[in-house]
Amino acid sequence: MNRITLTAALLALAAPAFADEAHTPADGWNEGGGEQDEALTLTPDHENGIYTYEVCSACHGLNGWGLPDGTFPMISGQHPNVIIKQLADIRALNRDNPTMYPFALPQEIGGSQSIADVAAYISALPMNPEPGYGAGDNLELGAQLYADNCVKCHGENGEGDNAKFYPRIHGQHYNYLVRQYQWIKDGKRRNANPEMVAQIQKFTDADTEAVLDYVSRLAAPADLVGDPEWINPDYDW
């Protein structure tokens, strides 16, 4: 049984990973500690990053491009600090993700060193040149909402900030953005920045669709984007 098959079996058997319901989104969205702090200090091992990412590829794809329907996000090109934080949060049950949880367990991918290794590997993968978009019928409103509400953290072009753990959001699949946005707004994604949770409460459904459609169309720098025909050569067995 190969590692991907084994992971799928673990996923089928794993209990959903939900933490204490009393833990609210305002409870220190990025206090760090534990594996996050340790992984941030480690020197990544490229070969182990390749080995570890094989597990992740079962859902995110060998390229890390996810799926346009939003089932799985594009993770290629994401800031390594963001990946480290999200992996550590899922493992520590600071973020509920029952689908990913069994994939992220230490017995499946390793300890803090593997978190550092796979984060560095993923961040170096070229980004998806063909993300999923929305309807495209209210982009002017989306651009204004983005300028007024999102630039402070995510940057003029959705580039985020590695040092501050703000993710890249340009080029992300529209349907994934919508789902995560709604979870953040509803408090379901408990490790979200509480400033964002509060800020987006005023957005209507039309506002949400417009701004996230606009975000999905923000172009990442050309040197970070892959060719549509690119196939990850690290798994050309």
Per-residue pLDDT tens over the stretch 4-17:
444 444 343 333 34
Q: What CATH code would you report for 139-224?
A: 1.10.760.10
pLDDT above 90: percentage of residues in the chain = 84
- In 3-state terms, what secondary structure has residue 75? coil
pLDDT, tens digit (0-9, with 9 covering 90-100), for 203-219: 999 999 999 999 999 99
Q: What pTM was computed for the model?
A: 0.88
* Residue boundaries of the structural domains of the chain: 3-129, 139-224
* pLDDT value at residue 30: 84
Question: Which residue's structure tokens are 């993300």?
Answer: 131
Alpha-carbon distances, residue 123 vs 52, 99, 225 (angstroms) = 14, 22, 12
- What is the gyration radius of the CA atoms in the chain, in angstroms? 17
Residues 108-129, mean pLDDT to the nearest whole number? 98
Residue 86: pLDDT above 50? yes
Any idea which fold 3-129 has? Cytochrome Bc1 Complex; Chain D, domain 2 (1.10.760)
